[in-house]
Chain A
Amino acid sequence: GAVVSQHPSWVICKSGTSVKIECRSLDFQATTMFWYRQFPKQSLMLMATSNEGSKATYEQGVEKDKFLINHASLTLSTLTVTSAHPEDSSFYICSANGAEKLFFGSGTQLSVL
């Protein structure tokens, strides 16, 4: 199946700093990628749709100025959590279409102190 790589796997940062998470499709091109957020023992909540070469589409309630998404190439989308606070601590996971199926990155556990 298609491979989606996500880095870093985990990150610990101080409150007020920014964190960048990368999502790469390794063996296919993805014009569209998706970013999800998952709290412990909860479901995956869609945050935004990342479109190559254009602005991301955010879901209702997601602050676009806080969660900056850039999809500059067909194989890379980045999510930057700006001015992170403890309530932003969560498991962030990206996904991309490959062979008409949705494949997920390995996820990033963000802990904001």
Chain B
Amino acid sequence: GENVEQHPSTLSVQEGDSAVIKCTYSDSASNYFPWYKQELGKRPQLIIDIRSNVGEKKDQRIAVTLNKTAKHFSLHITETQPEDSAVYFCAASTGGFKTIFGAGTRLFVKA
């Protein structure tokens, strides 16, 4: 089955700096890669996603890149703000939206 690895597990940045979180997946059939932000005790919120026919997608301060050959995808947050502090999960899906999650990255943005 699908396996998603995520790094780093913890990331601390200064406000205004960029943050990068990287994930790899194992199933070459995966074709949908969402990223979720989860605050303590709350549901995961979809922040951006990318499909396998696209290499990069950007939404304001957030961007995601996908390298299907290497089975890598990454989340980039620019101009980080304290409210960006949360746990971020990458995920991979092979369709039917059975989605497997990475272990999560705890992001701290220091003011």
Contacts and interface: CB of A to CB of B under 8 A. Distances in A.
Contact of A97 (B49, B97, B101, B103): B97
B42 A107 contact: yes
A93 B11 CA distance: 25
Interface string A58-69: 000000000000
Contacts of B102: 43
Interface size class of A (residues with CB under 8 A): 20 to 34
A93 B42 CA distance: 10
A103 B43 CA distance: 9
A65 to B, nearest CB: 22
A101 B44 contact: no
B43 A107 contact: yes
Given A102-B34, A107-B42, A44 B98 contact: no
A105 B43 contact: yes
A46 B99 contact: yes
4 closest Cβ pairs, A-B complex: A104-B43, A44-B101, A97-B97, A43-B103
